[in-house]
Chain A
């Protein structure tokens, strides 16, 4: 503090900037404030500093109202983080690896236990052991019960399907099975009719404006996933009818 920085004769020596700034914020004790104010009134230099400090606050406020464009690389990374967080959330009530549960028990266990109150099926898919909560558990709250609004239905075009599915798949080393039990069952039936029946992805989506299901099957190489966009799986007793397919190669596996 430079509270004692007031000159003995306020008309001869200038106030320092700290003292003037304190004066503006009413931080000086009354006698000092009075002397400082008298000085500022009489001293053009200090009056100018005073005015400049007041102006500075206004300038900062004006600048503060302006946004600053986020750099493209930061924005891109942030997008990816939000997407994977989204995938993680939807898979919390769907399929989860034991590794994830072990690593982040605080985050997953409460929801898992809640959703799994009905039936917990332990299934071995490929080499990974996964927990699958039966997704037609009754009485789940909205957002928890996957049959209501489980993971949402992203709107895509066929052009987006590959890149989008690739991002989902790259964010998890486990199968991502979303949608109602009936929809997943329909996807399984479709998969079983294929030469490569191992399911990697089931995701309800609106593709080119129509309700569809994106189904991912393990490709020939471990990093390849063959994607099909099918209609019919969201109707009860429906049969998958593919209208688009593509193959993506995952980068992180």
Chain B
């Protein structure tokens, strides 16, 4: 949704879709418009918003939580919360950023509650694995396989490291943003990321060796000195 244009200021009459003849095409409305109509009382536009972004949000939830049932529950909580809090959305942000943050928080809440309850290990759920990879007709086999590899590997590292890694490496939050979301020091986020990567590496090593990169060793040109920089 990079083409999002903030149109919150160019207010058209709220009741426009109601009064116009012909069916309203919510598909053509941008996220801001849909959310604005929702706040104004339209009963349908929030559902459209959910359908538009659910695959993105599902990816975040399933990677963070590992368990489909947990992810589904977290998403439900998140979307209901977004539904009710939509009037607190600030129009200068992207709707996806806002939604994303609510989903992340709902997932982290579940993790915290789970940690308080007990450290019951995540059950292996082989039956749902294929389903988790998504419908076969939608993506090529290697995409689905890679997706499953990552999900399975993520499930094997501890939840703190996993949530830090998902936020920073996979979702592109800065260390500072992740620290604010996770309510811990930036150094803690860095450390969790580093240790999480170290644990993931052997689990995903075959990924890198089968990449068929441009050079024969498959390693990037970046050297230790370049990456670490000067002292």
Contact = CB atoms under 8 A, between A and B. Distances in A.
Interface of A: 16-18, 20-27, 30, 33-34, 37, 40-41, 47-61, 63-64, 66-72, 74-75, 77-79, 81-83, 85-87, 89-90, 142-143, 148-155, 206, 209
A147 B191 CA distance: 56
A86 B150 contact: no
6 contacts: A22-B195, A63-B147, A69-B138, A83-B47, A149-B14, A151-B41
A28 B15 CA distance: 60
A18 B43 CA distance: 51
A143 B231 contact: no
A67 B56 contact: yes
A22 B220 contact: no
B111 interface: no
Nearest to A57: B169
B227 A54 contact: yes
A60 B170 contact: yes
B7 interface: no
B212 interface: no
Most buried by B among A41, A60, A69, A155: A60
Interface string B172-209: 10000000000000010011011101101110110110
B194 to A, nearest CB: 4
Contacts of B122: none
Interface residues of B, number: 77
Contacts of A149: 14-15, 18, 40-42
Interface of B: 14-15, 17-18, 21-24, 37, 39-47, 50-51, 54-56, 58-59, 62-63, 68, 71-72, 75-76, 79-80, 83-84, 131-132, 134-135, 138-139, 143, 146-147, 150, 165-166, 169-172, 187, 190-191, 193-195, 197-198, 200-202, 204-205, 207-208, 217, 219-220, 222-225, 227-228, 231
B58 A68 contact: yes
B188 to A, nearest CB: 10
A209 B14 contact: no
Contacts of B146: 63
Given A21-B195, A34-B231, A51-B222, A152 B18 contact: yes
B222 A54 contact: yes
Contacts of B187: 27
A60 B171 CA distance: 9
Given A74-B58, A152-B43, A82 B83 contact: yes
A84 B219 CA distance: 52
A66 B55 CA distance: 9
Contacts of A206: 18, 23-24
A27 B228 CA distance: 11
Contacts of A90: 41, 43
A56 B200 contact: yes
B40 A64 contact: no
B194 A22 contact: yes
Nearest to A69: B134
Given A52-B205, A68-B58, A86-B47, A209 B22 contact: yes
B40 A69 contact: no
B190 A27 contact: yes
B222 A53 contact: no
Contact of A52 (B17, B40, B41, B201): B201
A50 B204 contact: no
A52 B170 contact: no
Given A53-B198, A55-B208, A64-B170, A154 B44 contact: yes
Contacts of B143: 66
A70 B23 contact: no
Nearest to B143: A66
Contacts of A57: 169, 197
Given A52-B201, A66-B147, A206-B23, A24 B194 contact: yes
Contacts of A16: 198
B131 A71 contact: yes
Contacts of A52: 201, 205, 208, 219
Given A26-B190, A41-B225, A78-B50, 19 more contacts: A24-B194, A27-B187, A30-B231, A33-B231, A40-B224, A50-B227, A52-B219, A53-B198, A54-B227, A59-B208, A60-B200, A61-B170, A61-B172, A72-B135, A75-B54, A85-B80, A87-B43, A152-B37, A155-B44
Contacts of B17: 153
